[in-house]
Amino acid sequence: MSRATLKIGFVGAGAIHFGRPEVPWDHASRLEKIGGLEVIGIVDPDTRRSDEVLKERLASPDYGHMYTHCRLLTDYRELLGMKPDIVFIGIPPAFRGSPKEGENLELEFTRAGIHAFVEKPLSLVPPEGFIPYARSVTEACRTNDVVLSVGYMFRYHAAVLKMKEMIAHHGGKVMAFNARYYFAYTEGINKYWFNTEFSGGPIVEQATHFCDLARYIVGDVDMTSLHTIMLNDSDKSGVGKLKHVPGNAEDDIPSNKRIPRVTLSHWRFEDGGLGTLMHSITLPGSRYQATIDVQLDGLQLSLIDPYESTSILRVRNLEGGNPNQDQDFRFRK
Ligand SMILES: NC(=O)c1ccc[n+]([C@@H]2O[C@H](COP(=O)([O-])OP(=O)(O)OC[C@H]3O[C@@H](n4cnc5c(N)ncnc54)[C@H](O)[C@@H]3O)[C@@H](O)[C@H]2O)c1
């Protein structure tokens, strides 16, 4: 039985959709391997970038045919008019996720009956403005029977699924959730990330994955309990100054818009357990260090380096085996 060809549109010709040398994963490459699709349009105001991307894709002997009729566009509304079956929205959050006309892409596509995949973070709009907008998008999905999915890929990571399974088997509630997200910055940065105006800062842009996992693994947070402190570039101690930003890429970002160097938060979950998150920008090189410890009575689950090609789930368990010994499960991407 032959499958119908899916018409796909991309909003954004950047790394998440088409990769870059140091980013071996991207949505286009994965979709191409699945097959059965035709890319009908790529939207990006940076036409030099989209042109380069299209030329590269067309040159592929295996997948070039999927781009034969692809048009380069500069405004998402042109793509909307072309009625793709599904749109991938992967542009910085300052340009989407908002009820403002021209930034309400999610609503416009789903209202037009087009399935959408949107990258994290969902928005830079504060919750009081974003929640009513999210409800309109949910309503549009329901009315038009379309799906909107978000790029919180760790929810599907085999180690996270194993954690969920072990917590369910334990039967108790999580007492402590402790996440550490250490960013390595000296070999390359994305200027969008380093400007809070465009990225929303490192929690909204990066550690959002771990905020999502906190909710996915433990549950909702009592927002009235949340407390955060930050170390900023402008801190009068001078400790917040970064000396190894490649190519002096921060020099044209005003100090008050540079992202915090260290962010520390703690909170209480609605279920009673406590959570902490620390994000820092200090590590040399390009390898992040990211770990989550989840503790229940008599059980500790540590997710170690989920960004690496091999990640570890380290388990210390009262049930079965030696309670003083760690048991490591390894997962390959
Ligand atoms: N799920 C993940 O782990 C993951 C990983 C990387 C990036 N992302 C997310 O994907 C998004 C894009 O990141 P990236 O790394 O591809 O950034 P990037 O800087 O490589 O590319 C962004 C592209 O969007 C274009 N753009 C800006 N405004 C636009 C608009 N209004 N319409 C169309 N194009 C526009 C820019 O010109 C640029 O080419 C971000 O929100 C980022 O957080 C998610």
Domain boundaries, the chain: 6-150, 154-332
Average pLDDT of the chain, as a whole number = 95
The helix/strand count (H/E) of the chain reads as 10, 14
Pocket probe for ligand 1: among 20, 119, 149, the residue whose CB has the most ligand atoms within 8 Å is: 119
Residues 6+ apart with CB under 8 A from 156: none
Q: 68 C-alpha vs ligand 1 centroid, how far in Å?
A: 24
Q: What pLDDT, on a 0 to 100 scale, did the predictor assign at position 4?
A: 81
Q: Exposed e or buried b for every residue in 248-276, given b needs 16+ CB within 10 A?
A: eebeebeeeebbbbbbebebebeeebbbe
**Ligand 1 atom at shortest distance from the alpha carbon of 43:** 33
The residue whose CA is least distant from atom 6 of ligand 1 is 16
What integer pLDDT is reported at residue 1 of this predicted model? 45
Q: Which of ligand 1's atoms lies nearest the C-alpha of 17? A: 16
**Most ligand 1 atoms within 8 A of CB, residue of 71, 73, 77, 91 to mutate:** 91
Separation of 202 CA from ligand 1 center, angstroms?
Answer: 15
Mean pLDDT of 50-78: 97
Claim: this prediction has a pTM higher than 0.75: yes
CA gap 254, 226 in Å, rounded: 28
Asked whether 207 lines ligand 1 (CB < 6 A), one says no
Q: Is the CB of 14 under 6 A from ligand 1?
A: yes
The response to whether residue 200 sits with its C-beta less than 6 Å from ligand 1 reads no
Tokens read off for 98: 């908002």
| Ligand 1 center–CA 39 separation, angstroms | 18
Between 22-26, 119-123, 169-173, 199-203, the lowest mean confidence (pLDDT) is in 22-26
Query: Looking at 80-84, 206-210, 257-261, 318-322, which range is the least confident one?
Result: 318-322
Which of 163, 7, 185 is CA-nearest to residue 80?
7
* 91 CA distance to ligand 1 middle (Å): 3
Using the mean position of ligand 1's atoms as its centre, give its distance from the Cα of residue 54 in Å. Answer: 16
92 lines ligand 1 (CB under 6 A): yes
Please enumerate in sequence order all residues whose Cβ is within 8 A of that of 52, keeping only pairs 6 or more positions apart, or say none.
none
**CA 187 – CA 165 distance, rounded (Å):** 37
**Ligand 1 site, residue 9, Cβ cutoff 6 A:** no
Mean pLDDT of 53-68: 97
Q: How far is the CA of 16 from the centre of ligand 1 (A)?
A: 6
In this predicted structure, the answer to whether residue 25 has a pLDDT above a threshold of 90 is no
Q: Among the listed ranges 3-7, 166-170, 267-271, 301-305, which one has the minimum average pLDDT value?
A: 3-7
- Atom 22 of ligand 1: nearest residue by CA position: 14
Domain boundaries 6-150, corresponding CATH code = 3.40.50.720
Name the burial class of residue 169, with classes exposed (0-12), middle (13-18) and buried (19+) by CB atoms within 10 angstroms of its CB: exposed
**16: Cβ below 6 Å to ligand 1?**
yes
Q: Residues with Cβ < 8 Å from 315, sequence gap 6 or more? A: 166, 299, 300, 301, 302, 326, 327, 328, 329
What is the model's pLDDT at position 3?
64
CA 261 to centroid of ligand 1, rounded, Å: 22
- Ligand 1, atom 25, lies closest to the CA of 12
Average pLDDT over residues 124-148: 97
DSSP at 204: I
CATH of 154-332, one of 3.30.360.10, 2.170.150.70, 3.90.650.10, 3.40.50.150: 3.30.360.10
User: What pLDDT, on the 0 to 100 scale, is given for residue 27?
Assistant: 96
